Structure 1
Amino acid sequence: MNIKEMSGLQIMQAMCDGVIPPPSMSLTIPMTAGQVTKGHVIFTAKADERHINPLGGVHGGFAATVLDSVTGCAVFSMLEAGIGYGTIDLNVKMCRPIPINQELTAYGDIINISRSLGIAEGKIVDKDGKLYAHATATCMIIRP
């Protein structure tokens, strides 16, 4: 099937199944889409030595990028074929430092979707459910 004929949900599921390669951003920020249903995504992510800030901690951009990805993909999973989106607002709250070399789980969930806007929330947690960062995002829905 042509990717332009696939819904956002179908594209995301194809990525999870390895049918479509992940975006190149996942090489810069190691994250993998593991599960997607309509309006809900789960990624895994792990910061490494490439993500360290001048103070020796994981740069805040790591969490912001992961959260932008899961919130955007939650919106994308709601869109029909041929419809795009772009983040217009991302509000990130860092709750504690992101650990290095530890696999974390990121969740993205749709809050509301209309013809022109999608609103989603995301969170990054560890295996025990400890919250590291939370975000809300607004995405513009781009229709031809």
Structure 2
Amino acid sequence: MIDISTSGMARMAHFAKTQPRTGMAGNLDYQIESVIEGRVVYHYTPKQRHQNLIGSLHGGILAALLDSAMGASVMTKLGPGENHSMIDLTIKFIGAVRDEEPLVIEAQVDHCGKRLFATSGSIRTAKGQLIARALANAVRL
């Protein structure tokens, strides 16, 4: 259980060390490469269980990876006892993922207001090909 009385950075540091992960993080099974204030980088290897009926990675998985990473980037900006909730998510799918090539998910906070956060994220193949990009906003709770 993560102690919400600590800062968002402390919570992310704890989360990064937690294995095995439960919930959606366990389902997605991504690895955290880096966490700095306002920015996170994840790595994900496509799983057969995440394929759609045409044999490519399901768009909902891409959306969940981006949502998770952008939410984590917001988390890094929170003070002790603060929480957040994502309030919208816009995604543009640019390429399909049809193999098990690792993906890199990057997310950052573009604006940190008193109550609202604007974030952006992208998914690229390990070779740099853009797969998806997203914008999302979060509210501080």
TM-score (norm 1): 0.89
1:96 Cα deviation (Å)? 0.1
CA distance in 2, matches of 1:79, 1:14: 15
Per the alignment, do residues 103 and 31 of structure 1 end up closer, same or farther by CA in structure 2, a change over 3 Å counting? same
The corresponding residue for 1:51 is: 50
CA distance in 2, matches of 1:48, 1:20: 19
Q: Quick check: 2:39–2:109 contact (8 Å CA) kept in 1?
A: yes
Runs of 5+ in structure 1 lacking a partner? none
1:99 Cα deviation (Å)? 3.5
After superposition, the CA RMSD in angstroms is 1.7
SS in 1 for 2:43: strand
Per the alignment, do residues 11 and 65 of structure 1 end up closer, same or farther by CA in structure 2, a change over 3 Å counting? same
The corresponding residue for 1:99 is: 98
State yes or no: 1:36 paired with 2:35: yes
User: Which AA in structure 1 matches 2:4?
Assistant: K
SS in 1 for 2:56: coil
TM-score (norm 2): 0.91
1:115 Cα deviation (Å)? 1.5
Which runs of 4 or more aligned residues in structure 1 lie more than 4 Å from their structure 2 counterparts after TM superposition? none
1:24-78 deviation per Cα after TM superposition (whole angstroms, max 9, x unaligned): 2122112122210100001111221111112222110011000001111111100
The corresponding residue for 2:24 is: 25
Q: Quick check: 1:11–1:20 contact (8 Å CA) kept in 2?
A: no
CA distance in 2, matches of 1:20, 1:57: 28
State the percentage of identical aligned residues: 26
Q: Quick check: 2:55–2:98 contact (8 Å CA) kept in 1?
A: no
1:20 Cα deviation (Å)? 7.3
CA distance in 1, matches of 2:59, 2:73: 21
Runs of 5+ in structure 2 lacking a partner? none
User: Which AA in structure 2 matches 1:44?
Assistant: H
